[in-house]
Chain A
Amino acid sequence: GAVVSQHPSRVICKSGTSVKIECRSLDFQATTMFWYRQFPKKSLMLMATSNEGSKATYEQGVEKDKFLINHASLTLSTLTVTSAHPEDSSFYICSARDVRILNTEAFFGQGTRLTVV
């Protein structure tokens, strides 16, 4: 199946700093990517839909200024957690859809475990 690469897999940062997470589709083009967040022992909650060349669509309750999403190319979307605080510590995972194939399964990245200290 298609490959989605997410980097970094783990990051520890100090409170108040910003962290950028990358999501790349390695062998296909993705006009749309999705960012999910997962708290420990909880389900995955959709944060936002990343659209290539346009603004991301955020789910209700997700702070746009806190979680900056950029989808500058057909193979890369980035999520920047700005001014991170301990409550932002979580597992973030992206998924991407191959534009050439209708209704295919979502391909997920490996996830990023963020710890803010």
Chain B
Amino acid sequence: AQKVTQAQTEISVVEKEDVTLDCVYETRDTTYYLFWYKQPPSGELVFLIRRNSFDEQNEISGRYSWNFQKSTSSFNFTITASQVVDSAVYFCALTPEGGGNKLTFGTGTQLKVEL
């Protein structure tokens, strides 16, 4: 069975602060994929990143960065210099290789960025 835990239910920060969203996962599969999605108030899911379990390199994309630590089963997401537009619910998700993108989602973290 797979499980994704996002322990932070809600985070509030002031604009320009850095914020890290935690994601811890459980799986018995040796090959799997991890994802982060952003869900703004409108409801659609915006794809942010997909990471293969064999690729532990950290990734940076603009103000976004991801830290994948296989040893601790964590895939944390950091937003640098947060902006009000970053306010949304962020979901971490997991699928086994060959799972056809049948995703197991975490419970999400509500991020509020205030002026």
Contact = CB atoms under 8 A, between A and B. Distances in A.
The 10 A-B residue pairs whose C-beta atoms are closest, nearest first, are A106-B101, A108-B45, A111-B43, A105-B50, A43-B107, A44-B105, A110-B44, A43-B105, A97-B101, A32-B100
A82 to B, nearest CB: 23
A111 B91 contact: no
Given A43-B108, A44-B91, A106-B35, A91 B102 contact: no
A56 to B, nearest CB: 13
A100 interface: no
A42 B107 contact: yes
A34 B105 CA distance: 13
B103 A106 contact: yes
Size band of the interface chain A makes with B: 20 to 34
18 contacts: A32-B100, A34-B103, A43-B91, A43-B105, A44-B91, A44-B103, A44-B105, A46-B104, A49-B100, A95-B103, A103-B52, A103-B97, A103-B98, A105-B35, A106-B35, A108-B37, A108-B45, A110-B44
A1 interface: yes
Interface in A96-117: 97, 103-111, 113
Interface string A38-71: 0001111110010000000000000000000000
Interface in B13-41: 33, 35, 37
